[in-house]
């Protein structure tokens, strides 16, 4: 049973409501969710509290003060932002267990605070976390087990009750899966993991070669042939890493390797084409609506193009940084099988896969993609793959990944200015929830 800590306090937050400013006085309660997971519950201190509550969680980021938790509490809802049992350590992640932290949060909101409806908020890496939980809660452990899975969940089914299911889910610039991000970040030119900086590199797959389209001072332009070849090279490399990790895991289980020696380091994992080129995964494939910054209203359906700013500086990151994981954190959260990193992915080989999970989720679903980032097509695919009969997809004009106004986007592309992303986003989410619950 979760318990609320006795320390509770009030504070005032200024928010913009149209052209006026208002003060929202909010009650904040610290919550112990067990096993190291912590939460922060907010609700209006004055006036009625909605029967609807929102729960926001990531995998490693601390969401106790997340934008959604603050903004939606200011709009009359109960909110619970969570820091998972893994803290902010990627190496500590055993992804399938995150469902227990979300379950305890849902139970707190329903059983302790009395909310009759709970909506999950999946921002960024919270997308695969919340969708995994809901798919498990709706379908039982059969969802997260099977011969195709890189890792399986440890649950029997007794851990979850029908009342543990959330009633809706909102994705705000959600990852399609952490393994997908890892896959698309791998430098495909690496042929030997023991010699990632040479000489065993494939020069035809160097994304930082100007002959292939790299622009060290601006937007890179790659041919479709290079993009496809690179994407297949990324899949080759990821599939090899998975095979290596599974062999190490098996040797640990057999006692041939000390389980304490579980470090799994991936070099050259900062070479994502979408960060170098605005032409890669640039747009929606089908017409959809833009949440217009100046009016807070929806445009007519249209093909929507990203306004993100290219980042050639990741070349230095790729030369110097490593992903410092463990066998468990890699296999449960950072690995997925594929043949082509953009278009041919075995979505359900990982439990950390928003695209796989939404195929098994029936509750009302809102998908928001942020125009100033690189998940526009991913958000569209999450929407397309969703099994919900009540689903909606909208792109938020001029929004950064974090949910702010992308002033850099406006300056680079000569668009905008963008001033109202925060206001428009959470007004839209609030109205969406009120209309359904």
Per residue in 191-225, pLDDT (tens digit) is 999 999 878 899 999 999 999 999 999 999 999 99
Mean pLDDT over 385-405 rounds to 98
- List Cα–Cα distances, 49 to 112, 196, 294, 421, 430, in angstroms: 14, 55, 30, 25, 13
CA distance 142 to 223: 42
User: CATH code for 3-178+353-436?
Assistant: 3.40.50.1820
Helix (H, G, I), strand (E, B) or coil at 301: coil
Pairing, β 20-34 against β 37-44: antiparallel
Question: What is the domain partition of the chain in residue ranges?
Answer: 3-178+353-436, 181-280+311-345
The pLDDT value recorded for residue 370 is 98
Whole-prediction pTM? 0.94
CB 221 within 8 A of CB 277: yes
pLDDT tens column, 244-289: 999 999 999 999 999 988 999 999 999 999 999 999 999 999 999 9
Q: In the predicted model, is pLDDT for residue 309 greater than 80?
A: yes
Helix (H, G, I), strand (E, B) or coil at 407: helix
Mean pLDDT of the chain: 94
CA distance 385 to 89: 31
DSSP string, 240-251: HHHHHHHHHHHH
The pLDDT value recorded for residue 374 is 97
Mean pLDDT over 45-55 rounds to 95
pLDDT tens column, 361-389: 999 999 999 999 999 999 999 999 999 99
Structure tokens at 4: 């609320």
Mean pLDDT over 152-180 rounds to 98
The pLDDT value recorded for residue 167 is 98
pLDDT tens column, 330-363: 999 999 999 999 999 999 999 999 999 999 999 9
pLDDT tens column, 82-107: 999 999 999 999 999 999 999 999 99
Q: Is the dihedral of CA 348, 349, 352, 353 positive or negative?
A: negative
pLDDT tens column, 1-17: 443 332 332 333 333 33
CA distance 373 to 142: 34
Structure tokens at 378: 């991913």
Q: Is the dihedral of CA 105, 109, 110, 112 positive or negative?
A: positive
The pLDDT value recorded for residue 394 is 98
Q: In the predicted model, is pLDDT for residue 21 greater than 80?
A: no
Mean pLDDT over 30-54 rounds to 97
- List Cα–Cα distances, 380 to 160, 257, 349, 374, in angstroms: 30, 43, 21, 12
Strands (DSSP E) found in 154-226: 168-172
H-run or E-run covering 252: helix 224-253
H-run or E-run covering 281: none
Buried b / exposed e over 209-246, threshold 16 CB at 10 Å, is eeebbbeeeeebebeeebbebbbbbbbbbbbebbeebe
The pLDDT value recorded for residue 200 is 80
- List Cα–Cα distances, 264 to 241, 242, 314, in angstroms: 10, 11, 22
């Amino acid at each position: 049973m979760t318990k609320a800590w006795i320390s509770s306090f009030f504070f005032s937050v200024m928010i913009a409501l149209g052209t006026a400013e208002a003060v929202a006085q909010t009650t904040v309660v610290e919550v112990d969710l067990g096993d190291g997971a912590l939460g922060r519950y907010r609700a209006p201190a004055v006036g009625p509290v909605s029967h609807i509550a929102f729960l926001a969680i990531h995998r490693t980021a601390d969401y106790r003060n997340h934008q959604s938790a603050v903004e939606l509490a200011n709009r009359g809802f109960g909110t619970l932002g969570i820091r998972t049992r893994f803290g902010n350590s990627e190496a500590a992640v055993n992804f399938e267990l995150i469902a227990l932290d979300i379950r305890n949060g849902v139970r707190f909101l329903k059983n302790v605070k009395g909310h009759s409806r709970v909506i999950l908020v999946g921002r960024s890496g919270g997308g695969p976390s919340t969708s995994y939980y809901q798919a498990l809660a709706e379908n039982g452990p059969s969802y997260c087990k099977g011969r195709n899975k890189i890792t399986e969940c440890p649950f029997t089914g007794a851990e979850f009750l029908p009342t543990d299911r959330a009633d809706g889910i909102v994705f705000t610039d959600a990852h399609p899966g952490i393994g997908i991000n890892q896959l698309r970040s791998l430098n495909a030119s690496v042929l030997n993991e023991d010699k990632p900086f040479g000489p065993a590199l494939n020069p035809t797959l160097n994304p930082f070669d100007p002959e292939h389209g790299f622009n060290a001072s601006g937007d890179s332009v790659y041919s479709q042939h290079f993009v496809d070849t690179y994407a297949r090279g990324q899949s080759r490399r990821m599939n090899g890493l998975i095979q290596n990790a599974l062999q190490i895991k098996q040797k640990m289980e057999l006692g041939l390797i000390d389980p304490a020696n579980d470090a799994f380091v991936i070099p050259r994992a900062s070479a994502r084409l979408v960060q170098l080129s605005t032409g890669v995964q640039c747009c929606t494939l089908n017409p959809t609506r833009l949440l217009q910054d100046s009016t807070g209203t929806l445009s007519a359906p249209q093909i929507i193009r990203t306004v993100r700013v290219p980042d050639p500086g990741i070349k230095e990151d790729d030369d110097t940084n490593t992903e410092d994981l463990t066998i468990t954190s890699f296999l449960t959260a950072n690995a997925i099988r594929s043949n082509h990193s953009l278009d041919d992915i075995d979505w359900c080989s990982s439990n950390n896969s928003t695209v796989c999970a939404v195929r098994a989720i029936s509750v009302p679903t809102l998908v928001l993609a942020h125009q100033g980032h690189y998940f526009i097509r991913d958000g569209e695919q999450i929407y397309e793959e969703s099994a919900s009969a009540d689903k909606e997809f909208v792109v938020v004009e001029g929004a950064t990944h974090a949910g702010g106004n992308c002033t850099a986007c406006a300056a680079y592309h000569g668009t905008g200015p963008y001033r109202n992303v925060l206001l428009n986003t959470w007004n839209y989410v609030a109205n969406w929830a009120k209309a359904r619950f």
